[in-house]
Amino acid sequence: MATTWKDDPELQEIQDRLHSGDATVRRLALIDLGEIADETHVPLLAGALDDPDAEVRAEAARALHAFECDIAVTALIGSLEDGDVRVRDAAARSLSELKQPRLARLLLPHANCPSPVVRGAILRALRELRVPEAAEPALDALHDDNAAVRREAVGVLGYLKQYQALPALIATVSGDPEPDVRRVAIGALGFAADARVLPALLAGLGDRAWQVREEAAKVIGKLKLVQAAHALIERLWDDYWQVSLQAARSLGRLRSTASVSALVRILGHEIGNLRKEAALALGEIGAASALPALEPMRDDADPEVRKAVRLALVQIEEQQGDAAARNPAE
């Protein structure tokens, strides 16, 4: 049986502070109450979401993250429409930490709420719960007027890893006007070892937004789509070094022998991170033809590059040794 306020002087003192005329005192009382983590106190925390002070309401929303019960979730959903952005953000964060799939039944009815703030927060919470029922509202939300809502919808579909969502995700990659939504859609394709994603990823490599190109290069490496090697080689000279770095990294994962000469050229790049990734990629590929370019780089000015070069030389030596063992000279 839970300890009552009357039986516990500490709880009684917290209750007294919850009724203080000083908002700071009430807020600190909520912190103390939340740390006790007793579900019987949820109604008090939920009641504090109606406090006249926004900081107090936000603190109540933060404290409720520890309680996965109907009362707490329903109260937090209501706070998504609070007039203060701090309260809305705190409620959204608490909802996104839910781990009990059964609570999705409370969230789903609000997926089409008139408020884009609520729609986005509900989808973000559903993403973490990974319930199949979330696919339908997420697919609908891909056409939402609000870019943040579309982004959250893509996240839900990516987490669910449902192949039936592939056509919609592929269409988002090429058709959404917002770069960040296209980037997240590219990332969501990373679960699908499916030939249908290759054209979308190749299109992503040519996207006008460098963040989308970077994500496309990353996913190609993750899925080990060797058919995209030549497109990745072209991206080694992207206007943004972040894209070039990811292209080099993925070429290493693909073990693309066709990229060796291009990666050797990148070894001379002025940016140390690019030289490092080129060396690591050459090590993964294991091409002996890269040795003359790698050997002088043992003395590179960047210690991280030197470390990558040493590792690459060892990898190439090991792979060449393995090859010799498989094909002994007659």
**Tens of pLDDT along the chain (330 residues)?**
344 555 667 788 888 888 889 999 999 989 988 888 788 889 889 999 999 999 999 999 999 998 999 999 999 999 999 999 999 999 999 999 999 999 999 999 999 999 999 999 999 999 999 999 999 999 999 999 999 999 999 999 999 998 899 999 999 999 999 999 999 999 999 988 788 899 999 999 999 999 999 999 999 999 999 999 999 999 999 999 999 999 999 999 999 999 999 999 999 999 999 999 999 999 999 989 999 999 999 999 999 999 999 999 999 998 876 655 666 654
Distance between CA 139 and CA 227 in Å, rounded? 29
- Residue 165's nearest CA partner among 216, 129, 127 is 127
Distance between CA 89 and CA 95 in Å, rounded? 10
**Confidence at residue 330, expressed as pLDDT on a 0 to 100 scale:** 46
**Confidence at residue 62, expressed as pLDDT on a 0 to 100 scale:** 94
**Confidence at residue 169, expressed as pLDDT on a 0 to 100 scale:** 95
- Both structure tokens of 296: 């002088």
- Both structure tokens of 131: 């319930």
Q: Give the number of C-alpha atoms closer than 13 A to the C-alpha of residue 150, restricted to the C-beta side.
A: 22
Distance between CA 294 and CA 287 in Å, rounded? 11
- Both structure tokens of 175: 């058709």
Query: Chain centroid to CA 273: how far?
Result: 23
Length of the chain: 330
Phi-psi region of 71 (alpha: psi -120 to 50; beta: other; left: phi over 0): alpha
Distance between CA 246 and CA 219 in Å, rounded? 10
- Residue 266's nearest CA partner among 245, 242, 250, 295 is 245
Distance between CA 168 and CA 165 in Å, rounded? 6
- Residue 104's nearest CA partner among 77, 134, 80, 149 is 134
Output DSSP code: residue 159. H
Question: Any idea what the Cα angle at residue 253 is, between residues 251 and 256, rounded to 5°?
Answer: 45
Helix axes 303-326, 272-285, angle to 10 degrees: 10
**Confidence at residue 35, expressed as pLDDT on a 0 to 100 scale:** 85
Q: Alpha-carbon torsion 247, 251, 256, 260, what sign? A: positive
